[in-house]
């Protein structure tokens, strides 16, 4: 198993939000997480990306322990290299407003390269070559998300869909083993969700390992190898898209899907 999440729990002020989450994922697979609002999906992604420290549980990537709540140091700053096993794309992008699309992508890699070169006392020429490579990679990523012509645009000059595509490129620039998305299209107008979903589909076709929290059921069914249904902080059901979207015996899942589809069938969402 490439990614293993074992017994993850998390409480906020005495309320348990994650009540023991276990799942695994093969390399190159796509996992979608569905469930109603407040079921703990975001908290799960935040724990995986060390934005929150889980109270208990372990996370392993490729056999390496990335996180263990038992460790003395857990919670006190996760080692940077370990956290870079994961990337996270936020619902509301969080691009850096004072940097251009290209600079948003190169900022973190550039800072890493500079720190690395200082530590290893590499020559200026070696450093410049690494920086040059980082820029080339960023340009490649921009063209991959279809925004080569927007490289010098600032976030405020880009549409929501374009901003989200830049933020995907920004996350990819650090070569994460697993890329996570938290409702990547929820902040977008319905007519432009497609351009972001298309990029994610292309990544799936390139065997990028991904965890996607989403309310786009059709998309989840098409792109996923595996689906988790979360309910009240537990995984209430998991399985292949066929199993989950077929007639699954879990009644909570059936209720969720039924209300979901009836909402969609109804006129304008309110």
Partner 1 sequence: MTFWQITLELLHGFGLTCLLFVLTLLLALPLGLGLSFCTMSRWKPLRAVSRVFVWIIRGIPLMLFICMIYYLPGLLGNGSGNLFDSLDRYFTQLMGSGHLLYYGSFLAVLIAFVINYACYFSEIFRGGVESISHGQYEAGQVLGMTKGQIFRKVILKQVIKRILPPMSNEVITLVKDTALANVIAIPEIIKRAKDMAATQALVWPLFYTAVFYLIFVGVLTLLFGYAEKRLSYFKA
Residues that bind ligand ADP (CB under 6 A): 12-13, 17, 35, 37-43
The binder of partner 1 chosen from 35, 155, 161, 184 (CB under 8 A): 155
CB of 261 to Mg ion, least distance (A): 20
CA angle 34-37-42, nearest 5°? 70
CB of 87 to partner 1, least distance (A): 7
Locate tokens 């994460």: which residue?
Answer: 176
Our finding on whether 117 is near partner 1 (CB under 8 A) is: no
Length of the chain in terms of residues written:
270
Taking CB under 5 A as the binding criterion, the range among 35-43, 55-63, 81-89, 244-252 that sits at the site for Mg ion is: 35-43
Strands 209-213 and 30-34: parallel
Our finding on whether 130 is near partner 1 (CB under 8 A) is: no
The CA distance from 75 to 63, in Å, is 21
Residue 212: strand pairing partners: 32, 181
The binder of partner 1 chosen from 23, 67, 86, 181 (CB under 8 A): 86
**Residue 40 binding result from ligand ADP, partner 1, Mg ion, none, given CB thresholds of 5 to 8 Å by partner type:** ligand ADP
CB of 141 to ligand ADP, least distance (A): 27
**Residue 111 binding result from ligand ADP, partner 1, Mg ion, none, given CB thresholds of 5 to 8 Å by partner type:** partner 1
Our finding on whether 96 is near partner 1 (CB under 8 A) is: yes
The CA distance from 227 to 238, in Å, is 6
Our finding on whether 184 is near partner 1 (CB under 8 A) is: no
Our finding on whether 260 is near partner 1 (CB under 8 A) is: no
Please say which residue, 154 or 260, places its beta carbon nearer to partner 1: 154
**Residue 198 binding result from ligand ADP, Mg ion, partner 1, none, given CB thresholds of 5 to 8 Å by partner type:** none
| 158-177 binders of partner 1 (CB under 8 A) | 167, 170-171, 174
Our finding on whether 126 is near partner 1 (CB under 8 A) is: no
Please say which residue, 86 or 256, places its beta carbon nearer to partner 1: 86
CB of 172 to partner 1, least distance (A): 11
Our finding on whether 131 is near partner 1 (CB under 8 A) is: no
Query: Which residues here bind Mg ion, judged by CB under 5 A?
Result: 42
């Amino acid at each position: 198993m490439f990614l293993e999440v074992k017994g993850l729990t998390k409480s906020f002020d005495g309320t348990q939000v994650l009540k023991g989450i276990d799942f695994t994922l093969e390399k190159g697979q796509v996992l979608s997480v569905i469930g109603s609002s407040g079921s703990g999906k975001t908290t799960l992604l935040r724990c995986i990306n060390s934005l929150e420290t889980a109270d208990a549980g372990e996370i392993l990537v490729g056999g390496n322990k990335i996180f263990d709540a038992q460790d003395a140091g857990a919670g006190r700053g996760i080692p940077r290299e370990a956290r870079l096993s994961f990337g996270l794309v936020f619902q509301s992008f969080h691009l850096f407003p004072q940097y251009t699309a290209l600079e948003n992508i190169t900022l973190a890699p550039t800072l890493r390269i500079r720190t690395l070169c200082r530590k290893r006392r590499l020559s200026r020429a070696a450093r410049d070559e690494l920086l040059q490579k980082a820029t080339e990679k960023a340009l490649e990523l921009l063209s991959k998300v279809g925004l080569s012509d927007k490289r010098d645009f600032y976030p405020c000059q880009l549409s929501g869909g374009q901003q989200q595509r830049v933020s995907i490129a920004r996350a990819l620039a650090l070569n994460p083993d697993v890329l996570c998305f938290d409702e990547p299209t929820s902040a977008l107008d319905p007519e432009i969700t497609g351009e972001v979903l298309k990029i994610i589909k292309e990544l799936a076709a390139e065997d990028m390992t991904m965890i996607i929290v989403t309310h786009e059921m059709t998309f989840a069914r098409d792109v996923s190898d595996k689906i988790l249904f979360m309910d009240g902080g537990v995984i209430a059901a998991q399985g292949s898209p066929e199993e989950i979207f077929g007639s699954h015996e879990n009644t909570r899942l059936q209720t969720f899907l039924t209300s979901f589809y009836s909402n969609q069938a109804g006129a304008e969402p309110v």
